[in-house]
Amino acid sequence: MLGRGTSPVRAFGWVWVGMLVGCGGGDPEPISQGGAGQVSLPVHEPVSDTAGYVRVGDARLYYTAFGSGPPLLVVHGGPGLDQAYMRPWFDELQDVARVVYYDQRGTGGSTAPRTAAALHFDQFVGDIERIRQAMGWERFTLLGHSWGGILAVAYAREHGSRLAGMVLVSPAEPGTQFAALAAERSREARSAETQARLGELLASDGYAQGEPAVVSEIFKVVFATTLADSADIGLLDLELSETTARNREEVTGLLQQGMVQPEWWPELRSITVPTLVIHGRHDPLPIEMAEALADSLPGGRLVRLRDSGHFPFAEEPEVVAREIRSFLAMRADPRRALPEK
């Protein structure tokens, strides 16, 4: 897949850590209560009909599941975040899908050895396949946001036959064609006041010690600049769990040791999975990149959102839910085809 090399900032052009700093699968395990060595769960534990772990070698992946219907696996962004900020935006799909979220290794309720081998990019991609195996899904739909979109595309390259469909929401670029433009728009979105506030937070003892309140505040300041209206930042649950806040820097630091520059644009033509790309016009990730991505995927279609930035599911939730519902319905009925691009 990917060899060892440069950092995730360079590797993906737009990974959130860059904004801050400038093996087989087992059966799912239900959650047990208390006990020595028990993993500390996220502070924002949802009400779900199923919550548990999937074992992947020495790692355990915490998941929550809602609803019934064809499986939809939600892959959060980051790296170094957890599933919380994507809830409850996709919970309402539980009447048409079995919606499953999971925390990537080292975040939220998930665990993994703190080594470069355990936190290698290939492991993050492989976790998706291990979850599929553990859940017993023959085929499923994969939804990835931002960095999660890169993981989804990487999975499709390796296991496309297992996918009924793919939804990419504000995905990171699978190459570097638009990296300079993304960096420029990111700089333009940040005021001098924002830069000063970030500098203050990053230099604080609280950040060095991984205090959840401080790390959460950094993400709020950063992500506010990626929205169509920065006041909407309150719509996102960015109150990080202690595990996520404490491990974020180590997870991303070890992850970057095993990454090189992907240039997947030429390979996208071979990914025939029906794909819905959703992208906001105010996203610092260029809409031109999303257009090129959808055009490069034989089964791709782009939905452009006029009033959204990088978190369209929070900024225009009704539109996003409607588009995903329609897409899932088409996947459930093989007689229906994707609309013309």
pLDDT of residue 270: 97
Q: Delineate the domains of the chain, giving CATH numbers in brackets.
A: 8-180+256-332 (3.40.50.1820)
Per-residue pLDDT band for 254 (boundaries 50, 70, 90) equals: confident
Q: What does the alpha-carbon distance between residue 117 and residue 121 come to, in Å, rounded to a whole number? A: 9
pLDDT at 302 over 60: yes
Q: What does the alpha-carbon distance between residue 258 and residue 3 come to, in Å, rounded to a whole number? A: 6
Per-residue pLDDT band for 253 (boundaries 50, 70, 90) equals: confident
Per-residue pLDDT band for 1 (boundaries 50, 70, 90) equals: very low
Q: Tell me the C-alpha to C-alpha distance, in Å, between residue 231 and each of 223, 285, 316.
A: 11, 19, 14
pLDDT of residue 251: 86
pLDDT of residue 88: 84
Q: What does the alpha-carbon distance between residue 293 and residue 177 come to, in Å, rounded to a whole number? A: 11
Prediction pTM value: 0.86
pLDDT at 277 over 80: yes
pLDDT at 72 over 80: yes
pLDDT at 331 over 90: no
Structure-token match 């630091």, residue found: 253
pLDDT at 239 over 60: yes
